[in-house]
Amino acid sequence: MAIAFMALGADRTKSAAMIERHSSAPGAEVTVIKGGDLSRYGLSEYHSLTLPSATAATADEIAAAVSADIASATDREVSYHNGRIKYAFLTMPTADDGLNRYVIYVCNPAKSGRRRVVLIDIKGKATARQLQNLIKITSK
Amino acid sequence: MIRFTITILTLAAASVTATASTAPDTLKTVENPTEVTIVTGGSRSLSLTVKSDSSRYDFLAENTPEKSEPTIDISFPFIDNVRKQHTKGRRTKWRSFAMRGIYAGASIPSDAVPGLRTGWELGISQLSGVELLSPSRRTSLTAGVGYFYRRQKVGNGSHLSDNGHGRIAITPAPEGTHSHSSSISSFGLQLPVMLKQQLIGPTGMAVGVVGLWNTYTTASTKWTDADGTTCKRKMKGLHQRAFTVDALLIFNFGSEIGWYARYSPMHLFHRSTGPEYSLWSTGVNIGF
């Protein structure tokens, strides 16, 4: 049993753990999609967490988890602003079920020095290129 | 936040020393200036000249607003779809479908009719149909049309006998004969009306009633005489009820494979024209 738990833990990204950890935070928006329309895009699971007004401590905790995932990612696209991770698209090691796994992170300024944090954990057959083509990114 | 940047235009040769207590935005500290002249002023820039006994300094101070942090937004097409469904999904929706509920299973007599044995059945519950989806899309009411085939066996020392005028009965097999094999076959259209509920993901259950239009029913019996002669007899023109009703329950594990149970309480034949029995049937259902 302990081995099974270890294996489960190894398969999860630090970001996925953050999504779970902060999913019940005040104002948190969690979106979980499995199957259905996702299969059209070569994806099987989509988990996202949006914290519209995260405190600096929460934002830093999530950023630390993303940093850990950056270290273990097989491919990464990261941009920084004032030394802080602004955007990250990470290709993580393949999941136990053979599917590709990706982490996407965006940290925007919010009112009163708070941060708007979006953290997404995605699994599927789609390649990083296919997924990047799917995402619409707007920058202001 | 506003930050000041100071640019020195001209710096005199005289030595000027910044003290350790110099504030971050202070470029130079001039001790005992003899004259300070503001050349130009404004909200965004300040040009000034500072003179001391031995030196002259010309400064241009410009305040430039710090670039605000850019905002990045990301979106996925399927999220948009989810939102659209969320906003639109407050209404019910009709849709049509085809080929749902291919099934095969065993049919077991629930009445103790001597000689009647377990048979089998197969069919397509809904060759085509319409579905009324709830706003959540997890509950729906379906109505369709399909067809069925059911074959009920007779054995255990009994066989089907023809009583004339399309009347049949299960009777003990005549002495001296053996290898009896009799069955009642029924074919027709079925009209299921089902209430369907998705439970977890695509896994769900459906419950409803199925009208059976028994368009074609035959009986056959086969035996071998004492002298080894094999005889067959097919009985048509039977007095089956034109319309019977079943109750149907389906559990589907995922969107494809499932299990069904069907209860047929109505006797297939009119009173005194054939064996009177009800059936339970159960088996595999494909497509939900």
- Packed helices A14-21 and A56-72: angle between N→C axes, nearest 10 degrees: 150
On whether both B118 and B251 belong to a single domain, the answer is yes
User: Which structural domain, as residue segments, surrounds residue A126?
Assistant: 2-134
d(CA B38, CA A22): 55
On whether both B131 and B274 belong to a single domain, the answer is yes
On whether both B114 and B27 belong to a single domain, the answer is no
Contact across the interface for B76 and A46, Cβ inside 8 Å = yes
Each residue's pLDDT tens digit, A18-68? 998 888 888 888 888 887 778 888 999 999 999 998 999 999 999 999 999
Each residue's pLDDT tens digit, B142-201? 999 999 999 999 988 888 988 888 899 999 888 888 888 899 999 999 999 999 998 887
Residue A10 — pLDDT band, cuts 50, 70, 90? low
Question: Residue A4: which residues within 8 A CB-CB, separation 6 or more?
Answer: none
Which run of H or E residues covers position B106?
strand B93-109
Among A37, A81, A104, select the one facing B78 at the smallest CB separation.
Answer: A37
List, in sequence order, the alpha helices (H) in chain B.
77-88
Each residue's pLDDT tens digit, B242-283? 999 999 999 998 778 999 999 999 999 999 899 999 999 999
pLDDT for B42 equals 63
Nearest residue in B to A110, CA atom: B71
Question: Complex ipTM, two decimals?
Answer: 0.81
Which run of H or E residues covers position B132?
strand B119-133
Question: Global pTM?
Answer: 0.49
Provide the mean pLDDT of chain A: 86
pLDDT for B209 equals 97
On whether both B50 and B104 belong to a single domain, the answer is no
Q: What is the CATH number of the domain that holds B177?
A: 2.40.160
On whether both B136 and B272 belong to a single domain, the answer is yes
User: Which structural domain, as residue segments, surrounds residue B45?
Assistant: 2-65
Contact across the interface for A108 and B81, Cβ inside 8 Å = no
Contact across the interface for B76 and A137, Cβ inside 8 Å = no
Contact across the interface for A41 and B82, Cβ inside 8 Å = no
On whether both B108 and B202 belong to a single domain, the answer is yes
On whether both B114 and B257 belong to a single domain, the answer is yes
**List of chain B residues whose C-beta atoms are within 8 Å of the C-beta of residue A139:** 70-73
Both tokens of residue B54?
């031995």
Residue B86 domain-assigned (yes or no): no
| B39 CB burial (10 A radius; 0-12, 13-18, 19+) | exposed
pLDDT for B67 equals 66
Residue A139 domain-assigned (yes or no): no
Residue B77 domain-assigned (yes or no): no
Contact across the interface for B69 and A81, Cβ inside 8 Å = yes
Q: Among A29, A33, A47, A89, pick the best mutation site for testing chain B contact (most B Cβ within 10 A).
A: A33
On whether both B147 and B29 belong to a single domain, the answer is no
Location of structure tokens 């079943």: B246
Residue B221 domain-assigned (yes or no): yes
Over B220-268, what HEC string results?
EEEEECCCCCEEEEEECCCCECCEEEEEEEEEECCCCEEEEEEEECCCC
**List of chain A residues whose C-beta atoms are within 8 Å of the C-beta of residue B202:** 35
Residue B82 domain-assigned (yes or no): no
